Amino acid sequence: MEEAGYRVVFEKGGVFLHTSARGRHQDPGSLIAGVLRLLEKDNDVILHWAPVEEAGDSSHVVFSRKEPGGGDPCASEEEPTFDPGYEPDWAVISTVRSRPPEPGPAAGSSSSQASWAFSVSLGELKSIRRSKPGLSWAYLVLVTQAGGSLPALHFHRGGTRALLRVLSRYLLLASSPQDSRLYLVFPHDSSALSNSFHHLQLFDDDSSNVVSRFLQDPYAATFGGFSRVTNFFRGALQPPPDGPPTSRPEALEDEEPEPGFEVISCVQLGPRPMVSRGQPVTEDIWASHVGPDGRLQDVGELKAQIFSGGLCPSLRREAWKFLLGYLSWEGSAEEHKVHIHRKTDEYFRMKLQWKSVSPEQERRNSLLHGYRSLIERDVSRTDRNNKFYEGPGNPGLGLLNDILLTYCMYHFDLGYVQGMSDLLSPILFVTQNEVDAFWCFCGFMELVHGNFEESQETMKRQLGQLLLLLRVLDPPLCDFLDSQDSGSLCFCFRWLLIWFKREFSFPDVLRLWEVLWTGLPGPNLHLLVACAILDMERDALMLSGFGSNEILKHINELTMKLSVEDVLTRAQALYAQLTACQPCPLQARPPVSLADSHWTWTPGRS
């Protein structure tokens, strides 16, 4: 029977069910003491609660050897767990039921107490709600995917934090933007997480078509998904249906807080400081950082100057090779010469791979044929107002086409996705060289390739991080967007996908990108840029009383109307405002890193 047993990965005694809602004046007969366990077998993890009598009765149990160090991994931080009297080296597991039975008429009797035992697979959970700070015994309410609530679990000896920490090993617990005490539950594995997101049915088409629709018609593509996002969150936020008092723990008003329960309050941000941008780095400044052998010196200071003011146009052709990783900041002039020669040979070898494919071969290679057709279509529409690309038969368009097809040979798994031509165009315009543009483009794609993956996991994560960041910086704006079914921030999708390429004028895009490429103050400055734009449009959105379609229309009409210097100045001010606030108020999973070392947002302690 041992092979059929479950392994105990968490166990906590002193977990009670309250069968009446009379606060601290509970009738002793209405309190049912029990043991809560997490049981693991193969790929299944079950949360099981049983009354003390049943938990200690080994007449109908399955025994499973505990692994050393098993049980509650946070036991050192919590009170000793309940000991039903069996050997400490073995786990005693009660028979697991699939659904909680209806409560019996007399909670105090042994048979009636046994009827309250329940179990649920973690995969069936939809959300977990924590009790309000200041109540006596802290409790958790678990809501299933079917919409029902399990009996509230009251932790008389503490343990909610320990349980949530263990659950986070198997689930993603995302704090709801509308309610900090509510955790939305998602599976950990990427495929299941993707499926959970697709259940929202934001778009009627396949996810592979999402990028295309956002780029071509962001207004229509986004608007159709707003109400579905809202409906998903609304379902998780609705109060549980009427039932036994255990499913309505809010009725317990006057209770003592759980020992060790940490109240995470909303930290008031201080005043926003005034910041100013610097002057662009000139050729003379750059030359002052070049050593005798052509090796750059004081690279950190040089990057800081680029972050503060950007680059003068005449310097970009050289400096972008360093910012995008084509040339090493530590290399000498001779080393760079050798590196460029080697990379030139490598580029033309890859280019020859597709150039040598005959028309007959291409007809039998649907993937390459599809890439070629998509690239030709996109290139013909890319930055045609720029003199470098305007006019029929323009050589710049041919170079765009060749570089993108060669990138398909360089990155077989990703290939070509609509939007990549938008990222390549400014690079080719600046470098004026096919090989340099290709390798600089590869460096840029190393930063953003996740944006173009079919799963769209990177884009979902960034939108979630942006929402968390905005909720800290401007809760009223978030509340307004929520009230207008726009809280998902899907209207920011194009911003993040191609790094604001279509929101600014061409010269402003060059300035913005070189600032972002410095990596200062951290890898997610583009999220603060998005927050800065929303902050600039805050009054226009809120005072006009826009609905969801008007919000989307207004955001898309900002194209070419934004000043990059104003946006970057405001983004720096927002960053300074956040760094001056201690402790950081943001609770995020996964972390939102805004600085390389001293400023990283981590999940809030629970």
Residue 281 included in any domain: no
Q: DSSP labels for 481-518?
A: HHHTT-TT-GGGHHHHHTTTTTTS-HHHHHHHHHHHHT
Indicate whether 247 and 137 sit together in one domain: yes
Indicate whether 187 and 116 sit together in one domain: yes
Indicate whether 148 and 66 sit together in one domain: yes
Residue 540 included in any domain: no
Of 56, 47, 63, which is closest to residue 4 (Cα–Cα)? 63
Distance between CA atoms of residues 80 and 48, nearest Å:
19
Query: Lowest-confidence range among 49-58, 274-283, 531-540?
Result: 49-58
Stated pTM of the model: 0.60
Query: First CA to last CA across the chain, in angstroms?
Result: 38
Mean pLDDT of 6-25: 78
Residue 35 included in any domain: yes
Indicate whether 34 and 165 sit together in one domain: yes
Residue 80 included in any domain: yes
Indicate whether 233 and 374 sit together in one domain: no
Indicate whether 364 and 219 sit together in one domain: no
Q: How many domains does the chain have?
A: 2
For residues 331 and 182, the model is more confident at 331
Indicate whether 199 and 125 sit together in one domain: yes
DSSP character at residue 126: E
Residue 44 included in any domain: yes
CA angle 105, 109, 115 (to 5 degrees): 65
Distance between CA atoms of residues 573 and 555, nearest Å:
22
Query: For residue range 485-522, what is the model confidence (pLDDT) as tens digits?
Result: 898 899 999 999 999 999 999 999 999 999 999 999 98
Query: For residue range 334-347, what is the model confidence (pLDDT) as tens digits?
Result: 999 999 999 999 99
Distance between CA atoms of residues 180 and 182, nearest Å:
6
Query: For residue range 293-318, what is the model confidence (pLDDT) as tens digits?
Result: 999 999 999 999 999 999 999 999 99
Residue 448 included in any domain: yes
- The region that residue 279 occupies, defined by phi over 0 for left and psi between -120 and 50 for alpha, beta otherwise, is beta
Distance between CA atoms of residues 104 and 17, nearest Å:
13
Torsion sign (Cα): 73, 78, 82, 88: positive
Mean pLDDT of 322-343: 98
* Alpha carbon of residue 61 to chain centroid: 41
What are the residue ranges of helices labelled H in 297-433? 299-309, 313-323, 333-355, 359-363, 366-379, 395-410, 420-431
Q: What single letter denotes the amino acid at residue 4?
A: A
Burial class (CB in 10 A: 0-12, 13-18, 19+), 241: exposed
- The region that residue 260 occupies, defined by phi over 0 for left and psi between -120 and 50 for alpha, beta otherwise, is left
Q: What percent of the chain has pLDDT over 70?
A: 69
Indicate whether 333 and 236 sit together in one domain: no
Residue 604 · residue 587 · CB < 8 Å:
yes
pLDDT at 535 over 90: yes
Q: Which of 230, 251, 272 is the last residue of a domain?
A: 251
Residue 183 included in any domain: yes
Q: What is the 3-state secondary structure (H, E, C) of 519-551?
A: CCCCCCHHHHHHHHHHHHCHHHHHHCCCCHHHH
Peptide bond into 392 cis (omega under 30): no
pLDDT at 388 over 50: yes
At 157 the three-state DSSP class reads: coil
Query: For residue range 263-287, what is the model confidence (pLDDT) as tens digits?
Result: 333 457 889 999 999 999 999 999 9
Q: How confident is the model at residue 107 (pLDDT cuts 50, 70, 90)?
A: very low
For residue 413, the enclosing domain spans 312-452
- Look up the CATH number of the domain holding residue 18: 2.30.29.230
Distances in whole angstroms, Cα of residue 520 to Cα of each of 301, 459, 462, 516: 11, 21, 18, 7
Residue 514, pLDDT score: 98
Residue 76 included in any domain: yes
Of 211, 216, 219, 220, which is closest to residue 553 (Cα–Cα)? 219
Mean pLDDT of 89-117: 47
Indicate whether 21 and 149 sit together in one domain: yes
pLDDT at 581 over 70: yes
Indicate whether 51 and 159 sit together in one domain: yes
Residue 427 · residue 437 · CB < 8 Å:
yes
Indicate whether 237 and 331 sit together in one domain: no
Q: Which of 225, 251, 277 is the last residue of a domain?
A: 251
pLDDT at 199 over 50: no
Q: How confident is the model at residue 147 (pLDDT cuts 50, 70, 90)?
A: confident
Mean pLDDT of 427-437: 98
Residue 235, pLDDT score: 38
Indicate whether 13 and 140 sit together in one domain: yes
Q: Which of 251, 271, 286 is the last residue of a domain?
A: 251
At 390 the three-state DSSP class reads: coil
Residue 49 · residue 117 · CB < 8 Å:
yes
Distance between CA atoms of residues 120 and 124, nearest Å:
7
